[in-house]
Amino acid sequence: VMGSAPLGPLVLGADATLQRVRAVDDGAEQTLEYEPALTGGLRLDARLPGRWNAGFEVRYLGSQLAQNPDAGTLDPLPAAARLDVRIGRGFRVHEGALGRVDASLALENLLDDVVYDQAGLPQAGRTARLQLRFW
């Protein structure tokens, strides 16, 4: 399920996936790895004065199971969340091709939480990203 709604200078968006994934082999049901029961997020984008814009996003990844090849078992990976924030502005530097620039600064995983997509493969920790887009 996903959706978004404008609220004046704000846009609120949300998404959620709720699932129960199982494999069936010869009538026997098996639990699968890397299939969290719940994932989702909440996002807020804002137009600010002076043609600035800002965004805030919280992402949640529910607990899941990961194959432990040493023990031959499915071990739990804990649920985790991350917070991303960004601010940016568009500029016109000249008329014509590549005369516009969108500049943004983002802080991703601001709280530096450990978020695993797979066992042993965490997403990046706290990251600062400066982006310039010419068009």
Based on C-alpha coordinates, what's the Rg of the chain?
20
pLDDT of residue 119 exceeding 90, the answer is: no
Residue of higher predicted confidence among 122 and 89:
89
Q: Where are the beta strands (DSSP E) in the chain?
A: 2-7, 10-18, 22-25, 28-31, 38-48, 52-61, 64-68, 73-77, 80-92, 100-108, 116-118, 121-122, 127-134
- What value does the mean pLDDT take over residues 119-124? 86
C-alpha distances (whole Å) from 65 to each of 37, 80, 118, 125 are: 10, 13, 9, 21
pLDDT tens string 12-69: 999 999 999 888 988 888 888 889 999 999 999 999 999 999 999 999 999 999 988 8
